[in-house]
């Protein structure tokens, strides 16, 4: 493994373990009493300038809204639900003790550590358990289906909750492309907890359908993630070595103005003082330039609904007529015929489906990125 990261041991007794409230209210980065820059594992891969603001005592100017806090708390509340679902599917799990969560830390350089609190550790259901009634869930539901033979090593289990589109994106693109920070997080937890690189698991729940899935990140990919964490935070460590905890010696920005990361950054107004005003001005300009008024939009919705309703009966009649013709053609054994001056064809088509879960499991993320590309489009839906 090329990374220079190393585990940091923590006492397991409750005497030094932090209370849950303190643990999860930690800033994304802070400077310890001994001068060590301690970065929260879940903040790895965010913006290093934002970490600097947090560590050097800047006060947040754009704290999370009540709605954002509710989303976050709902996600936290669902974690035990996901772990119970995994247990029913045959996983042997040890969830973190909510009152005394055990930290996992790795050292990046002499003055920088990363610390977090894993959701759980666990062992995946092994094939020999398949006969057990507890593991009656088909093994095919797991992403590790086609991976090398599973071992019984205990691994880190990280739980995430996502909306339907993020869940689908995760399944389609795999963890490294869709949620690289989550991979970094489990990599840190793995080395910090076991002192070695192992496979790690990220379980994801779709908050709309309540479907869940788990992606196993094999040990070599965990090692690659640790290398990335080491390189990314190594630069911040070098900055810290040069400047100490100087609140004015800001590292360069990791994100461009207007990005979603900046829009949701707690230090937005400090970092980009004009951003809020510009955003408001942009919005006003957009509305002023818009050639469609609210009344026209309302009228368009009404017209759309009327047209859709008008099409309902003809569409139903069309489907019924086609079903009759399909039955007729099959009975005749004909692929093409002429009826009442119209050519009627029985068209056969084959659809090809890609099992993205299996694809994600067997392909390296870089190769996967060449094969599975992402294209965004825009359309209007009225319901």
Which residue from 8, 37, 44, 47 is in contact with ligand SF4, where contact means CB under 6 A?
A: 47
- Give the phi and the psi of residue 339 in degrees, each rounded to 5: -130, 125
Query: CA–CA distance from 162 to each of 81, 209, 291 (Å)?
Result: 14, 10, 36
* In the complex, least distance from residue 276 CB atom to ligand SF4, rounded to whole angstroms: 11
Among the candidate windows 97-105, 171-179, 206-214, 257-265, which touches ligand SF4 by CB under 6 A? 257-265
Instruction: Check residue 68 and give left, alpha or beta (phi > 0: left; psi -120 to 50: alpha).
Output: alpha
Cβ-proximal residues to 65 (8 Å cutoff; 6+ apart), any chain: none
Please state whether beta strands 37-40 and 112-116 pair in parallel, antiparallel, or not at all (unpaired). parallel
Nearest to 55 by CA among 70, 73, 74, 40: 40
| Structure tokens, 3 | 């990374």
| Interaction between residue 255 and ligand SF4 (CB under 6 A) | yes
Binding to ligand SF4 by residue 54, rule CB under 6 A?
no
Please report whether residue 272 would count as binding ligand SF4 according to CB under 6 A.
yes
Q: Between 252 and 343, whose beta carbon lies closer to ligand SF4?
A: 252
Tokens of 377: 């489009």
Contact 170, 161 (CB under 8 A): no
120 binds ligand SF4 (CB under 6 A): no
Q: By C-beta, is 272 or 337 nearer to ligand SF4?
A: 272
Verify binding: residue 114, ligand SF4, rule CB under 6 A: no
Residue closer to ligand SF4, measured from CB, 261 or 337: 261
Least Å distance, CB 259 to ligand SF4, is 7
Contact between 357 and ligand SF4 (CB under 6 A)? Answer: no
Count of residues that bind ligand SF4 according to CB under 6 A: 13
Shortest distance (Å) from residue 270 CB to ligand SF4: 8
Give dist(CA 180, CA 366) in Å, integer. 13
How near is the Cβ of 29 to ligand SF4 at its closest, in Å?
Answer: 12
Find the binder of ligand SF4 among 23, 175, 271, 359 (CB under 6 A).
271
Exactly one of 10, 227, 254, 372 binds ligand SF4 (CB under 6 A); which one?
A: 254
- Of 253, 329, 356, 372, the one binding ligand SF4 by CB under 6 A: 253
Q: Where are the alpha helices (DSSP H) in the chain?
A: 20-24, 48-55, 66-88, 164-173, 175-178, 180-194, 219-243, 260-263, 268-271, 275-289, 294-332, 356-362, 365-371
How many angstroms separate the CA atoms of 101 and 378, rounded? 44
DSSP state of 46: S
Report yes or no: 27 and 54 within 8 Å, Cβ to Cβ: yes
Nearer to ligand SF4, 164 or 274 (CB): 274
- By beta-carbon proximity to ligand SF4, the closer residue of 97 and 278 is 278
Least distance between ligand SF4 and beta carbon 189 (Å): 24
**Restricting to residues 55-74, which ones interact with ligand SF4 according to CB under 6 A?**
none
**In the 8-state DSSP scheme, what is residue 65?**
P
268 makes contact with ligand SF4 (CB under 6 A): yes
Q: Does 262 bind ligand SF4 (CB under 6 A)?
A: yes
Q: How far is the CB of 235 from ligand SF4 (least distance, A)?
A: 14
Residue from 6, 76, 137, 261 binding ligand SF4 (CB under 6 A): 261
50 scored as a contact of ligand SF4 (CB under 6 A): yes
96 lies in the site for ligand SF4, by CB under 6 A: no
* Binding of ligand SF4 by 49 (CB under 6 A): yes
For residue 275, the minimal CB distance to ligand SF4 (Å) is: 7
Identify which of 135, 198, 213 has the alpha carbon closest to the alpha carbon of residue 167: 213
CA 240/CA 111 separation, integer angstroms: 8
Dihedral sign, CA of 286, 290, 296, 302?
negative
Q: Compare residues 147 and 254 and give the one whose CB is closer to ligand SF4.
A: 254
Quote the tokens at residue 240: 């810290």
Decide if residue 269 touches ligand SF4 (CB under 6 A). Answer: no
CA distances in angstroms from 43 to 28, 217, 219, 228, listed in the order given:
6, 19, 22, 14
List residues near ligand SF4 by CB under 6 A: 47, 49-50, 253-255, 261-262, 265, 267-268, 271-272
């Amino acid at each position: 493994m090329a990374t220079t990261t190393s585990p940091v041991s923590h006492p397991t007794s409750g005497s030094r373990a932090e209370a849950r409230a303190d643990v999860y209210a930690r800033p994304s980065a802070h400077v310890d009493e001994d001068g060590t820059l301690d970065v929260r594992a879940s903040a790895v891969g965010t913006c290093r300038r934002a970490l600097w603001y947090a560590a050097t005592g800047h006060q947040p100017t754009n704290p999370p809204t009540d709605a954002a806090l509710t989303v976050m708390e709902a996600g936290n509340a669902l974690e035990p639900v996901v772990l119970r679902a995994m247990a029913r599917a045959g996983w042997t799990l040890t969830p973190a003790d909510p009152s005394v969560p055990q930290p996992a830390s790795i050292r990046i350089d002499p003055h920088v550590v990363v610390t977090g609190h894993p959701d759980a550790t666990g062992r995946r259901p092994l094939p020999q358990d398949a006969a057990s009634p507890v593991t009656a869930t088909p093994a095919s539901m797991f992403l590790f289906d086609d991976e090398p033979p599973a071992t019984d090593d205990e691994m880190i289990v990280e739980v995430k909750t996502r909306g339907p589109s993020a869940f689908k994106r995760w399944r389609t693109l795999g963890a490294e492309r869709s949620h690289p920070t989550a991979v970094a997080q489990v990599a840190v937890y793995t080395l910090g907890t076991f002192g070695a690189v192992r496979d790690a698991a990220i379980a994801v729940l779709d908050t709309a359908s309540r479907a869940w899935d788990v992606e196993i990140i094999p040990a070599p990919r965990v090692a690659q993630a640790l290398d990335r964490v080491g390189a990314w935070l190594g630069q911040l460590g070098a900055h810290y070595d040069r400047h100490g905890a100087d609140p004015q010696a800001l590292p360069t920005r990791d994100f461009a103005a207007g990005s979603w990361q900046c829009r949701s950054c707690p230090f937005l107004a400090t970092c980009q003082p004009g951003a809020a005003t510009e955003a408001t001005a942009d919005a006003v300009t957009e509305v002023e330039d818009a050639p469609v008024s609210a009344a026209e939009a309302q009228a368009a919705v009404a017209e759309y609904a009327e047209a859709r309703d008008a099409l309902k009966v003809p569409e139903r009649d069309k489907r019924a007529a086609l079903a009759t013709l399909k039955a007729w053609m099959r009975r005749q054994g004909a692929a093409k015929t002429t009826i009442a001056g119209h050519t009627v064809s029985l068209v056969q088509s084959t659809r090809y489906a890609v099992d993205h879960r299996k694809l994600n499991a067997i392909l390296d993320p870089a190769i996967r990125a060449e094969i599975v590309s992402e294209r965004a489009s825009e359309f209007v839906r009225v319901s």
